[in-house]
């Protein structure tokens, strides 16, 4: 089988070929970097025919391109080394997709991991992520999660007073010290969905900026808390650069206040938030452009305050893994409502991609088995769940679809698997990792028996 790269040409503008556009930054691509069309007119990812993968592993199916994921890791890592004069560390915000294989790939590229629960922490640990590169987040960490963090020796991003006091008591009782960073709310607005704005004053995350002095005083009084740095995060899926430029100055100002209290802070974590391209209209900055703005702002602020450069940490999630994955479905029934719309149903939906119904998120789709055919119809792609809102894409442009076609939704690497559910008792999909023509199963498809694994039927209800 021969696979050739596709470039846009005039006679292909009305087909799926238009989505296979060269991009130097993975977050600016609509499809994984290895996407090609082979001589069967099928979509190919990582050297693997998507139609063949669907037959082998079934649908719905997450398909992760290892090369795209590694390219994003390398661009973040190398851009910080290029543009920041001090020490830096990129840590993957693994809530975007946390499983053993994804964590292991990211760690192998020298990145750290940001986790937000005991389950994510266990996964990162089992994947071989070093403790000194693991950071525990969360706005309501349970006591057992805090104890797990102490035992594992990871850094805790402290979010609130209750957590700070609990951690101080736990470390004293254990006779240990624990590295902590304090999450502060910077009060910076950005244009993104209401639910993923985290940097504004009205946010559930982080200490209020007016509490900074009091928090610093508490840390000084509790030496079992090894206070190493400050953290802030302004939101997700952000295309603007100015908010991140402003954040650098705000954080360095806090760092200066901490030093005035006698605290020796060595790290600044500016969060993540860089967006990706979900539709043709999206135009996010490149990974390097975003990194340069962040680095320049922190260095300029440190120079103005005449203080040494701290270790600069960032937490990309979506922009690391989002474009590395596609989801393959099998087309089922159709319903045509004359002069209104045509519904095209697939064998998945809101249980494997809840973002459209949750955030009104937009996606693009193609037919993987007929890449060159004209985009001749406009349809609404509906999921199989018993919910009117289970619609993956409204007004999707596709060739004339037929029962059994393999439909692919692009850019499903972030918050699809991680937010998946068993709604309607539908089993979660499998996931495969593809690279150089090889496909490796990284998540087994759940079975119907798996859905009953934790059910318990009281004796008096048994027949």
Name the one residue in this structure whose structure tokens are 């087994």: 444
Q: In total, how many domains does the chain have? A: 2
pLDDT at 191 over 50: no
Active site (annotated) includes residue 386: yes
Task: Round to whole Å and give the CA distance between 48 and 170.
Answer: 50
Give just the sign of the alpha carbon dihedral 159, 160, 166, 171: positive
Task: Round to whole Å and give the CA distance between 448 and 425.
Answer: 8
Q: Are residues 146 and 291 in the same domain?
A: yes
Cis peptide before 60 (omega within 30 of 0): yes
pLDDT at 182 over 60: yes
Mean of the per-residue pLDDT values for the chain?
92
Instruction: Count the neighbouring beta carbons within 10 Å of the beta carbon of residue 29.
Output: 25
Residue 199: pLDDT band (50, 70, 90) is very low
pLDDT at 459 over 60: yes
258-298: per-residue pLDDT in tens? Answer: 888 888 889 999 999 999 999 999 999 999 999 999 999 99
Beta bridge partners of 45: 48
Q: Are residues 147 and 287 in the same domain?
A: yes
Task: Round to whole Å and give the CA distance between 368 and 36.
Answer: 11
Task: Round to whole Å and give the CA distance between 93 and 10.
Answer: 40
pTM: 0.92
Residue 343 within a domain: yes
**What CATH number corresponds to the domain at position 265?**
3.20.20.10
Q: Are residues 281 and 160 in the same domain?
A: yes
147-163: per-residue pLDDT in tens? Answer: 999 999 999 999 999 99
Residue 155 within a domain: yes
Q: Are residues 287 and 380 in the same domain?
A: no
In this prediction, residues 294-307 reach a mean pLDDT of 95
pLDDT at 145 over 60: yes
Q: Are residues 186 and 238 in the same domain?
A: yes
Host domain of residue 398: 3-65+322-450
Q: In what order do the strands lie in the sheet with 48-49?
A: 3-4, 36-38, 43-45, 48-49
Give just the sign of the alpha carbon dihedral 226, 132, 25, 413: negative
CB 259 within 8 A of CB 235: no
CB-based burial, 343-357: b 16+ in 10 Å, e otherwise:
ebbbbbbbbbbbbbb
84-120: per-residue pLDDT in tens? Answer: 999 999 999 999 999 999 999 999 999 999 999 999 9
The pLDDT value given to residue 151: 96
Among candidate residues 99, 152, 190, 386, the one labeled active-site is 386
Q: Are residues 263 and 353 in the same domain?
A: no
Residue 96 within a domain: no
CA dihedral 368, 374, 380, 383 (to 10 degrees): -10
The pLDDT value given to residue 201: 57
375-392: per-residue pLDDT in tens? Answer: 999 999 999 999 999 999
pLDDT at 12 over 50: no
| Beta strand segments in 210-257, E | 225-231
Q: Are residues 286 and 337 in the same domain?
A: no
Could you tell me what percent of the chain has a pLDDT over 70? 94
Residue 223: pLDDT band (50, 70, 90) is very high
**What CATH number corresponds to the domain at position 25?**
2.40.37.10
In this prediction, residues 48-69 reach a mean pLDDT of 98
The pLDDT value given to residue 244: 87
Question: Which residue from 391, 363, 433, 325 is spatially nearest to 96, judged by alpha carbons?
Answer: 325
393-449: per-residue pLDDT in tens? Answer: 999 999 999 999 999 999 999 999 999 999 999 999 999 999 999 999 999 999 999
Token duo for residue 361: 């998120």
Residue 95 within a domain: no
Residue 188: pLDDT band (50, 70, 90) is low
Give just the sign of the alpha carbon dihedral 362, 354, 184, 179: negative
């Amino acid at each position: 089988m021969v696979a050739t790269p596709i470039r846009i040409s005039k006679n292909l503008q009305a087909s799926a070929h238009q989505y296979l556009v060269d991009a130097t930054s993975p977050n600016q691509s609509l499809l994984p970097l290895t996407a090609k069309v082979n001589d069967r007119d099928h979509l190919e990812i990582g050297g693997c025919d998507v139609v063949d993968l669907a037959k082998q592993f079934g649908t719905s199916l997450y398909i992760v391109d290892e090369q795209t994921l590694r390219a994003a890791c390398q661009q973040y890592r190398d851009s910080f080394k290029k543009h920041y004069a001090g020490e830096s560390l990129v840590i993957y915000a693994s809530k975007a997709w946390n499983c053993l294989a994804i964590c292991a790939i990211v760690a192998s590229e020298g990145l750290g991991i940001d986790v937000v629960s005991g389950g994510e922490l266990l996964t990162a640990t089992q994947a071989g992520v070093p403790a000194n590169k693991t950071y525990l987040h969360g706005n309501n960490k349970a006591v057992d999660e805090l104890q797990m963090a102490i035992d594992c020796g990871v850094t805790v991003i402290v979010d609130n007073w209750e957590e700070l006091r609990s951690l101080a008591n736990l470390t004293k009782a254990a006779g240990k010290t624990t590295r902590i960073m304090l999450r502060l709310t910077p009060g910076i607005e950005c244009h993104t969905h209401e639910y993923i704005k985290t940097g504004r004053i009205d946010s559930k995350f982080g200490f209020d900026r007016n509490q900074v002095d009091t928090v610093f005083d508490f840390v000084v009084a509790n030496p079992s808390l090894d206070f190493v740095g400050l953290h802030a995060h302004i939101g997700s899926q952000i295309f603007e650069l100015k908010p991140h430029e402003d954040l650098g100055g705000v954080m360095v100002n806090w760092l200066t206040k901490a030093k005035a209290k006698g605290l020796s802070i060595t790290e600044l974590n500016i969060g993540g938030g860089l967006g990706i391209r979900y539709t043709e209209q999206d135009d996010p900055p490149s990974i390097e452009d975003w990194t340069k703005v962040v680095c320049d702002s922190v260095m300029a602020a440190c120079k103005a305050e005449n203080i040494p450069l701290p270790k600069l940490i960032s937490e990309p999630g979506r922009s690391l893994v989002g474009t590395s994955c596609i989801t393959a479905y099998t087309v089922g029934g159709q319903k045509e409502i004359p002069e209104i719309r045509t519904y095209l149903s697939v064998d998945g939906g809101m249980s494997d991609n809840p973002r459209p119904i949750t955030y009104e998120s937009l996606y693009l789709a193609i037919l993987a088995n007929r890449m060159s055919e004209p985009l001749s119809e406009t349809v609404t792609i509906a999921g199989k769940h018993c919910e009117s809102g289970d619609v993956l894409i409204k007004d999707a442009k596709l060739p004339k679809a037929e029962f059994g076609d393999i439909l692919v939704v692009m850019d499903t690497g972030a918050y699809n698997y991680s937010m998946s559910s068993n709604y309607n008792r539908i089993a979660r999909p499998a996931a495969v990792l593809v690279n150089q023509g090889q496909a490796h199963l990284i998540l087994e498809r759940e079975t119907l028996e798996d859905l009953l694994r934790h059910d318990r039927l009281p004796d008096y209800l048994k027949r």
